[in-house]
Amino acid sequence: KNQVEQSPQSLIILEGKNCTLQCNYTVSPFSNLRWYKQDTGRGPVSLTIMTFSENTKSNGRYTATLDADTKQSSLHITASQLSDSASYICVVSANSGNTPLVFGKGTRLSVIA
């Protein structure tokens, strides 16, 4: 069964600190993996997208890594800001024309002053 598991479920960090969110997946055949940021009451916004051959992708203070062998990904946030408080969702797309994306349940990040 295609699944995406994220950890931790929630995380509280101090402003300015770094943090790393984890994503494990069993989606096959793999096409690409995305990280989205979702503010409360808003739709998800894409941060990064990585295909099978990519190991890392950065977007400002966000850096995503992908290990396609172990089927793991991480999202590292550097020098966190209060505005980083949101849910971060890992989404995996199967390389199949009729399969929608498979979503993780997200990690709820709270950045406090």
Partner 1 sequence: DTGVSQNPRHKITKRGQNVTFRCDPISEHNRLYWYRQTLGQGPEFLTYFQNEAQLEKSRLLSDRFSAERPKGSFSTLEIQRTEQGDSAMYLCASSLWGGTLANYGYTFGSGTRLTVV
Which positions touch partner 1 (CB under 8 A)?
A: 31-32, 34, 36, 41-46, 89, 93, 95, 97-98, 100-101, 103-106, 108
Q: Which is nearer to partner 1, 86 or 106 (CB)?
A: 106
Cβ at position 74, least distance to partner 1 in Å: 17
Cβ at position 16, least distance to partner 1 in Å: 27
Place of tokens 């989606």: 27
Cβ at position 37, least distance to partner 1 in Å: 11
- Residues 104, 94: Cα–Cα separation, whole Å: 14
φ, ψ for residue 82 (rounded to 5)?
Answer: -55, -35
Q: Which is nearer to partner 1, 19 or 36 (CB)?
A: 36
In whole angstroms, how far apart are CA 95 and each of 47, 98, 102? 21, 9, 12
Cβ at position 98, least distance to partner 1 in Å: 6
Q: Which is nearer to partner 1, 13 or 101 (CB)?
A: 101
User: 81: closest CA among 24, 39, 4, 18?
Assistant: 18
Q: Which is nearer to partner 1, 45 or 82 (CB)?
A: 45
Is the separation of the CB atoms in 85 and 77 below 8 Å? Answer: no
